[in-house]
Chain A
Amino acid sequence: MKTPARAAAREILDSADDSLLDLVDNLLNKGVVVSGEVLLGLAGIDLIYLRLTALLCAADRVGRAREEK
């Protein structure tokens, strides 16, 4: 298992950029699965699923703060 993958996942999550979060959701949660072996090689996936919703919520708060200004 590639150990840098976990660090990479954390980096993705820490960036908390709205468009990146949607990319994560689209590319890792959606998209056609044609093979049972998909994602077996990707460490850090669970971490992403766990924190995705929390980060989306954070993005909403940032968006609202921007709107209120």
Chain B
Amino acid sequence: MDTHLYRLSDQQAAALLGQYAEAVAAKRRRALLFVVALGVCTALAAWAGEVDLRKFAEGLPRFWSYLYDILPKLRLAHFSTDLAEWFWNWDGWLWLLAETLLVAYVGTFLGATVGFILSFLASANLVKNAIARALVRRSLEFCRTVPGIVFALLFVYTLGLGPIPGVLAVAIHTSGALGKQFAEVVENIDMKPVDGVRATGATWVAQVRFAVVPQVLSNFVSYTLLRFEINVREASIMGFVGAGGIGKELLSSIRQFYYSDVSAILLMIIVTVFVIDLLTERLRHRLLGIEGHR
């Protein structure tokens, strides 16, 4: 095969090269601007955040020694006794973990139920009244923007210590987050089934039940499972403010320097979160698989 190489005239080449240099220079300028802006923000933030590199340098060895301290002292010679000593309170912690999971479950259930109902009211294709829709949307926004632990603090104050404030805090945050995600799903449905059901003279509730819910259910379940995963993490720290679960035990073991307890509890939390992640991921893939085959 013949190949022909054409040489551009010097004039053309110079013009093109000039354009190239200009484009590169513009890109460089933009990158430089970005770096300068980032640098200014970093300096401001470092000033406001009391960043002290000397303190950090002094603290860093302490971090490693802390990590070393919380690691269990397991010796191969008497491994089982060491392990038993490390997990000396394993049954108590398991109960607390079970409580944590229940807080997450009950909170997710309540929140998902509320979010389920509110999501239809927040969808532009089902509710034509803009004011009602905006009202629902703003309250969902409020529920998900205020951090869960702030609700927990308020509820601990009004309901007393215990897991119920944790449940309510998780539920409120969940209803806000899921309500928004659900509404986005509902707004993307096919409207033809809705028209069909409406044509038979069905009420609004019947339209939602027979035309909307079948279309969105698998997505809803998938989002809810994802949220349950997040809520398990959330529930594990609710105990920091006295709202139930394993958090209280973790807080006191960190504050009172019970080193090996810290690692034992952390390990149990990490394993639980990991297992929950795995299970929900399996379930979600299966659900989406069913959806795909349809």
Determine if chain A interacts with chain B. Answer: no
Q: Give the B-binding residues of A (Cβ under 8 A).
A: none
Interfacial residues, chain B to chain A (CB-CB below 8 A): none
